[in-house]
Amino acid sequence: MAAIGDPALRSTWSGIPAAIMAAATSLGHEPVAVGPLNAAGFRCAGRAARGARVFGQHVQFDRIGVLRRAAAREVRRGVEHDSLSAVISVTSLALSDRVSVGAPLALWTDAIVPLMVDYYPQFTGLPNWNVQGMMRAEREALASVDLIALASQWALDGLRTHYPEVSTPALVVPFGPSLSPEPGYQRTESESESPMVLSVGVDWHRKGMDTLVEAAGIARDALPD
């Protein structure tokens, strides 16, 4: 399992890599964590992007060639001593150098670059040269893997629309709910029997959480039980 952050940590990308590794373990596999990848380089890219925004410029630096090649080398080093049945990456940034890992290589992602541009705040107002460079890198990554798994039909449709030349097999593998209590969890007497929803994340309005709160109020009035 390869990720920009440590794939074994739940703090990495909302815990998705860790959840995939846990699922693999439950199926009898022995997942190997490869990451964090080129941590210093990607941290510098993030700082550069934030610095550019201070001056009113929106630029993404994390897909420049030197960073991608460094991450790809780390993936190769991370898997060369293990007899692996497959490699799963949750980032295309480490795959844009046509990384060869000696095993089937799959990419799981929630969105592709063309769908993120002018949708996510950090991808809004990017110069055309930056967008085209990111798309070239992503196109190469998508063509270099054996399987592409996307989180939604929206992402899959975007792949077919924006990268029609990519013939890599692709399918939808949606986000999975985590509804099982943590091991050792015990409900306390002070906890309410009423349903409780906790959202931990960012981009409150973009994710429609304000709409959810409003809808919950309507539902509570209509269905008090």
DSSP of 142-190, one letter per residue?
HHHSSEEEESSHHHHHHHHHH-TT--S-EEE-------SPPTT----TT
For residues 145 and 179, give the distance between their C-alpha atoms in angstroms, rounded to a whole number: 32
**Tokens describing residue 219:** 């539902």
**C-beta of residue 175 within 8 angstroms of C-beta of residue 200:** no
pLDDT tens column, 47-63: 887 787 777 788 888 77
Paired sense of beta strands 170-172 and 105-109, if any: unpaired
Digit-coded pLDDT (tens) for 137-177: 899 889 989 999 999 999 999 999 999 999 999 999 988 76
Residue 7, token pair as written in the block:
């794939």
Q: Which neighbouring-strand residues pair with 2?
A: 34, 89
If we measure between CA atoms, which residue out of 35, 118, 123, 32 comes closest to residue 74?
A: 35
> Which stretches of the chain drop beneath a pLDDT of 70?
81-82, 96-100, 177-183, 185, 187-195, 224-225
CA nearest to 74, candidates 102, 36, 106:
36
Q: What is the pLDDT of residue 225?
A: 61
Beta bridge partners of 148: 107, 170
Q: How far is it, in rounded angstroms, from Cα 93 to Cα 138?
A: 8
Task: Identify the pLDDT of residue 193.
Answer: 66
pTM to 2 decimal places: 0.78
Distance CA 104, CA 86 (A): 5
